[in-house]
Amino acid sequence: MSLDQLYQQIILDHSKLRHGSGLADTPAPANASTGQSHQLNPVCGDEVTLRLAVVDGTVTQIAWDGAGCSISMASASVLSELAEGLTVAEAHEVIDSFREVLRSRGKVAADPELLGDAAAFEGVARYAARVKCAMISWVAAEDALNQAA
């Protein structure tokens, strides 16, 4: 299996499994600072509402609901799996790295050590119309982090 095939499989798997999906089913811990953000891509109609909880400077929970293409839904799933357990500073670092890769138009390689499965979206950077699809949940997470901090 080539790296491109592996990345495609990661995106397909996450678009079906949707880790963290179920905002209404996942109440935030009582002792947490929370933030919630709704983001909409008016060009294609993708939308995500994401809530995260922070306890003692650590992201303890990410829950989201959304509708859209497989890239946007897979990206939200990967984000929720990756960011839980990170400190707020680490989460911002991961978001910044993901943004840099996606906005590079294929010139910046993803660091799989930092981004984990999110490195699979490296190929999306070559398709400007799809960058917003992959970024929508990450923008929501950044906004929610800023609210929770």
Structural domains of the chain sorted by starting position, each given as residue range(s) with its CATH number in brackets: 3-148 (3.90.1010.10)
Q: Average pLDDT, stretch 63-91?
A: 96
Task: For residue 100, give every residue at least 6 positions away whose Cβ sits within 8 Å of its Cβ, in sequence order, or none.
Answer: 108
Q: Is the pTM of this model over 0.95?
A: no
What is d(CA 33, CA 38) in angstroms, rounded to the nearest whole number? 17
Cβ atoms < 10 Å from Cβ of 149: 12
Q: What is the pLDDT of residue 85?
A: 96
Predicted pLDDT of residue 1: 55
- pLDDT band of residue 17 (cuts 50, 70, 90) is confident
Looking at residues 90-110, what average pLDDT do you find?
96
- Report the amino acid identity of residue 86: L
Rounded-to-integer distance, Cα 73 and Cα 49, Å = 11
Return the closest-CA partner of residue 46 out of 144, 140, 143: 140
Beta bridge mates, 113: none
Kindly report the average pLDDT of the chain as a whole number.
Answer: 91
Q: Is the pLDDT of residue 81 over 90?
A: yes
Phi, psi dihedrals of residue 18, rounded to the nearest 5°: 50, 65
Q: What is the mean pLDDT of residues 45-70?
A: 95
pLDDT band at 7 (very low <50, low <70, confident <90, very high): low
| Amino acid identity at 71 | I
